[in-house]
A and B are shown apart, each in its own frame.
Chain A
Amino acid sequence: MIDVALRHRFGRGGFCLDAAFAAPEAGVTALFGPSGCGKSTILGAVAGLLRPQAGRVAIGGEVLLDTAARICLPPERRRCGVVFQDARLFPHLSVDSNLRYGLRRAPRDAPGPAFEEVVALLGIAPLLARRPAGLSGGERQRVALGRALLSRPRLLLMDEPLAALDAARRAEVLPFLARLRDRAGLPILYVTHALDEVDALADHLVLLDGGRVLAAGPVEALMARTDLPLLAGRRDAGVLLPCAVTGTEGDLIMLEFDGGTLVTTAHPGPPGTRLRVRVRARDVAVATEAPRGLSTRNILPVTLTAIAEAGEAGEVFLRLAAGPTTLLARVTRDSVSRLGLRPGQPVWALIKAVTFDHRAAGDATGEPPAWQGRRDGPY
Chain B
Amino acid sequence: MTAEEWMAVRLSLEVATRSVLVSLVPAVGVAWLLARGRFPGRMLLDALVHLPLVVPPVVVGWGLLMLFGVRGPIGAPLHDWFGIRLVFTTEGAALATAVMSFPLIVRAVRLGLEGVDPGLEAAARTLGAGPVDRFVTVTLPLMSPGILAGAVTAFAAGLGEFGAVITFASNIPGETQTLPLAIYSATQTPGGETVAARLALVSFSLAMAGLLLAEVIARHMGRLLGRAG
Indicate if B126 sits at the interface (CB-CB under 8 A).
yes
> A residues within 8 A CB of B123?
82, 84, 88, 90
Indicate if B138 sits at the interface (CB-CB under 8 A).
yes
Check A82/B126 contact, CB under 8 A, given A92-B226, A132-B226, A133-B227: yes
> B residues within 8 A CB of A86?
119
Contact call B125/A49, Cβ cutoff below 8 A: yes
Q: Chain A interface: which of B127-135, B149-157, B168-176, B179-187?
A: B127-135
Indicate if B95 sits at the interface (CB-CB under 8 A).
no
Indicate if B124 sits at the interface (CB-CB under 8 A).
yes
Check A76/B225 contact, CB under 8 A, given A86-B119, A88-B119, A88-B120: no
B-contacting residues, A70-90, CB 8 Å: 74-82, 84, 86, 88, 90
Find the residue from A47, A75, A79, A151 having the highest chain B CB count within 10 A. Answer: A75
CA distance A75 to B141 in the complex (A): 22
Q: Chain B interface: which of A100-108, A184-192, A267-275?
A: A100-108
Find the residue from B123, B124, B127, B224 having the highest chain A CB count within 10 A. Answer: B127
> B residues within 8 A CB of A91?
120, 142, 225-227
Contact call B127/A101, Cβ cutoff below 8 A: yes
Check A90/B138 contact, CB under 8 A, given A84-B119, A105-B133: yes
- Tier of interface size on chain A: 20 to 34
B-contacting residues, A90-131, CB 8 Å: 90-92, 101-102, 105-106, 131
Indicate if B122 sits at the interface (CB-CB under 8 A).
yes
Contact call B227/A79, Cβ cutoff below 8 A: no
Rounded to whole Å, the gap between the CB of A38 and the closest CB of chain B is 19
Check A76/B120 contact, CB under 8 A, given A91-B225, A92-B225: no
A-contacting residues, B106-122, CB 8 Å: 117, 119-120, 122
Indicate if A147 sits at the interface (CB-CB under 8 A).
yes
Pick from A92, A131, A132, A148: contact of B141, CB under 8 Å: A92
Rounded to whole Å, the gap between the CB of B225 and the closest CB of chain A is 5
With both beta carbons as reference points, the residue of chain B lying nearest to A91 in the complex is identified as B226
A-contacting residues, B78-127, CB 8 Å: 117, 119-120, 122-127
Pick from A78, A80, A101, A133: contact of B226, CB under 8 Å: A133
> B residues within 8 A CB of A81?
126-127
- In the complex, per-residue mask of B198-229: 1 if CB is within 8 Å of any chain A CB, else 0: 00000000000000000000000000111100
Contact call A79/B128, Cβ cutoff below 8 A: yes
Rounded to whole Å, the gap between the CB of A10 and the closest CB of chain B is 18
Pick from A48, A133, A151: contact of B127, CB under 8 Å: A151
With both beta carbons as reference points, the residue of chain B lying nearest to A144 in the complex is identified as B123
CA distance A133 to B228 in the complex (A): 9
> B residues within 8 A CB of A77?
128
Contact call A92/B128, Cβ cutoff below 8 A: no
B-contacting residues, A40-88, CB 8 Å: 47-49, 74-82, 84, 86, 88
Contact call B127/A92, Cβ cutoff below 8 A: no
Rounded to whole Å, the gap between the CB of A296 and the closest CB of chain B is 50
Rounded to whole Å, the gap between the CB of A77 and the closest CB of chain B is 8
CA distance A250 to B125 in the complex (A): 56
Contact call B126/A131, Cβ cutoff below 8 A: no
CA distance A81 to B124 in the complex (A): 10
> B residues within 8 A CB of A80?
126
CA distance A134 to B120 in the complex (A): 18
Pick from A49, A76, A78: contact of B129, CB under 8 Å: A76
> B residues within 8 A CB of A132?
226
> A residues within 8 A CB of B226?
91-92, 131-134
A-contacting residues, B29-77, CB 8 Å: none
Check A74/B225 contact, CB under 8 A, given A84-B119, A86-B119, A91-B142: no
Check A76/B119 contact, CB under 8 A, given A91-B226, A101-B124: no
Check A76/B128 contact, CB under 8 A, given A86-B119, A92-B224, A133-B226: yes
> A residues within 8 A CB of B227?
91, 133
CA distance A48 to B130 in the complex (A): 13
Rounded to whole Å, the gap between the CB of A148 and the closest CB of chain B is 8
Contact call B127/A147, Cβ cutoff below 8 A: yes
User: 6 closest Cβ contacts across the A-B interface?
Assistant: A133-B226, A105-B128, A102-B127, A91-B226, A75-B125, A88-B123
22 contacts between A and B (CB under 8 A): A47-B126, A49-B125, A49-B126, A76-B125, A76-B126, A76-B134, A78-B126, A79-B128, A80-B126, A82-B123, A84-B119, A84-B123, A88-B119, A90-B124, A91-B120, A91-B226, A91-B227, A105-B128, A106-B128, A131-B226, A147-B127, A151-B126
Write the residues of chain A forming the contact surface with B, with a CB cutoff of 8 angstroms: 47-49, 74-82, 84, 86, 88, 90-92, 101-102, 105-106, 131-134, 147-148, 151
User: Other than the known A79-B128, A92-B224, what 9 A-B pairs have Cβ atoms closer than 8 Å?
Assistant: A49-B125, A78-B126, A80-B126, A88-B117, A91-B226, A92-B141, A92-B225, A101-B124, A133-B227
